[in-house]
Amino acid sequence: MDYIVLDLEWNQAVDGKEGENEKIPFEIIEIGAIKLNSDFEEVSRFSQVIKPEVYPKMHHVMKQLVHIDKDELMQGKPFRDVAASFIEWCGNDYIFCTWGQLDLMEFQRNMEYYEMPPLCAGPLRFYDVQKLFSLAYDDGKSRFALETAVDHLKVEKDADFHRAFSDAYYTAQIFSLLRKPEIMERVSFDLYHLPKSRKDEVYIVFSDYAKFISREFADKAEAMEDKQVSSMKCYLCNKNIRRKIKWFTPNGKHYYGVAACDVHGLIKYKIRMKKSREEKVYVIKTSKQTDEDGLLRVKEKKEKARILRQQKRHMKADKSKQI
Ligand SMILES: [Zn+2]
């Protein structure tokens, strides 16, 4: 399998929301990529400027950030042609690698705007190299600028930043320095296209947690009624296990629960309710081993939520009394 390390530059409306086309808030003006083989050796390069059609004027921030002059831009090719030749260049067996999560989303949104067939019918597996860098050198949650990572790893700075190809080049350099099994297992999923049916749903077990990405539901209640969403299975032995704390939510957005496996001990669960583009909801559920302290923390959270609910109820009751 090849690694396609991709970077895009884009432009936006000069007059903010007013002049924005909602279907394409960011218009891609350059695609740069490096193809690495499975041994992380560079085998091919791709670099193309795209002539903008939606926002022909460069936004002032983009002008400062992206070093493409107007002449170069006007000599670019149409998005459809560049995207098609890029996809062909990618080949048949590859995984995308990008710095952060935005590039693949914007790429797919631009493709949809130009009515091109989708890259992938459902979630798209990729490596978020920015996340991998954080996992390797920080807490996994922080995010750093590409140049910060380049400096940290002492990668030679022989090209300008903020051009698609050079940023892809630096991302590839960093990516190849991160190739340890515990880092490489942490694949990400772009969710521009959500799972359409149960069989497209994503379930992935990493060494220290498991992740489930559901299809769409009409609302939160329907999601919580789904067996796959509400189940508390041990992700290590796949058995349905004894519930210690049933699902509860302190805010209507996040749900928590804890269960106990006879073999693998306590497992804590978190559901995040997400809004889809179609204004429906989908669920990201994670499960992770925990201990008695972890159980206690979830118990405290539940108790806090209960007290808050009670206070709200009393406030409502007081109000209706006044009326
Ligand atoms: Zn188990």
Instruction: Give the pLDDT confidence score for residue 59 in this predicted structure.
Output: 82
130, 250: one domain:
no
pLDDT in tens, 7-48: 999 998 888 888 899 899 999 999 999 999 999 999 999 999
pLDDT-derived band at 319 (thresholds 50, 70, 90) equals confident
Q: Is the pLDDT of residue 61 over 80?
A: no
Region 267-294: mean pLDDT is 97
Residue 262 CA to ligand 1 centre (angstroms): 7
179, 216: one domain:
no
241, 133: one domain:
no
Region 175-189: mean pLDDT is 93
Region 82-98: mean pLDDT is 97
Instruction: Give the pLDDT confidence score for residue 159 in this predicted structure.
Output: 77
Q: Would you say residue 322 lies in a domain?
A: no
Q: Would you say residue 315 lies in a domain?
A: no
Tokens of 195: 């799972």
Residue 131 CA to ligand 1 centre (angstroms): 28
Which residues form the domain of 286?
196-310
CA-to-CA distance for 78 and 65, rounded, in angstroms? 22
Residue 148 CA to ligand 1 centre (angstroms): 41
Closest Cα to residue 40, out of 232, 173, 163, 182?
Answer: 173
Instruction: Give the pLDDT confidence score for residue 64 in this predicted structure.
Output: 74
Residue 229 CA to ligand 1 centre (angstroms): 18
In this structure, the strands spanning 27-36 and 2-11 are antiparallel
34, 154: one domain:
yes
Give the domain-ending residue among 132, 160, 184: 184
Q: Is the pLDDT of residue 185 over 80?
A: yes
175, 68: one domain:
yes
Residue 41 CA to ligand 1 centre (angstroms): 40
Q: Is the pLDDT of residue 253 over 70?
A: yes
Instruction: Give the pLDDT confidence score for residue 72 in this predicted structure.
Output: 87
Residue 266 CA to ligand 1 centre (angstroms): 9
Return the amino acid letter for 188: S
Instruction: Give the pLDDT confidence score for residue 113 in this predicted structure.
Output: 97
Pick the range with the lowest mean pLDDT from 114-123, 147-156, 157-166: 157-166
Residue 258 CA to ligand 1 centre (angstroms): 13
CATH number at residue 180: 3.30.420.10
Residue 172 CA to ligand 1 centre (angstroms): 38
| Better pLDDT: 64 or 145 | 145
Q: Would you say residue 319 lies in a domain?
A: no
Instruction: Give the pLDDT confidence score for residue 323 in this predicted structure.
Output: 60
Residue 293 CA to ligand 1 centre (angstroms): 19
Percentage of the chain beyond pLDDT 70 is 99
Q: Would you say residue 153 lies in a domain?
A: yes
19, 120: one domain:
yes
Q: Would you say residue 189 lies in a domain?
A: no
Residue 264 CA to ligand 1 centre (angstroms): 4
Instruction: Give the pLDDT confidence score for residue 161 in this predicted structure.
Output: 75
Read off the pTM.
0.89
Q: Is the pLDDT of residue 295 over 80?
A: yes
Q: Would you say residue 190 lies in a domain?
A: no
In this structure, the strands spanning 281-289 and 265-275 are antiparallel
Residue 238 CA to ligand 1 centre (angstroms): 6
12, 152: one domain:
yes
Q: Is the pLDDT of residue 254 over 90?
A: yes
Residue 233 CA to ligand 1 centre (angstroms): 8
202, 280: one domain:
yes
- What does the mean pLDDT of the chain come to? 93
Pick the range with the lowest mean pLDDT from 27-41, 51-65, 110-124: 51-65
201, 158: one domain:
no
Pick the range with the lowest mean pLDDT from 60-64, 124-128, 191-195, 227-231: 60-64
Give the domain-ending residue among 127, 151, 184: 184
176, 204: one domain:
no
Residue 231 CA to ligand 1 centre (angstroms): 14
Instruction: Give the pLDDT confidence score for residue 320 in this predicted structure.
Output: 73
132, 76: one domain:
yes
Give the domain-ending residue among 139, 158, 184: 184
Q: Would you say residue 321 lies in a domain?
A: no
156, 39: one domain:
yes
Q: Would you say residue 252 lies in a domain?
A: yes
Give me the number of domains the chain comprises: 2
Output 48-53 pairs: Cβ under 8 A, ≥24 positions apart. Answer: 48/76, 48/77, 48/82, 48/85, 48/86, 49/73, 49/75, 49/76, 49/77, 50/76, 50/77, 50/78, 50/79, 50/82, 51/75, 51/76, 51/77, 51/78, 52/11, 52/27, 52/76, 53/27, 53/78, 53/79
Instruction: Give the pLDDT confidence score for residue 70 in this predicted structure.
Output: 83
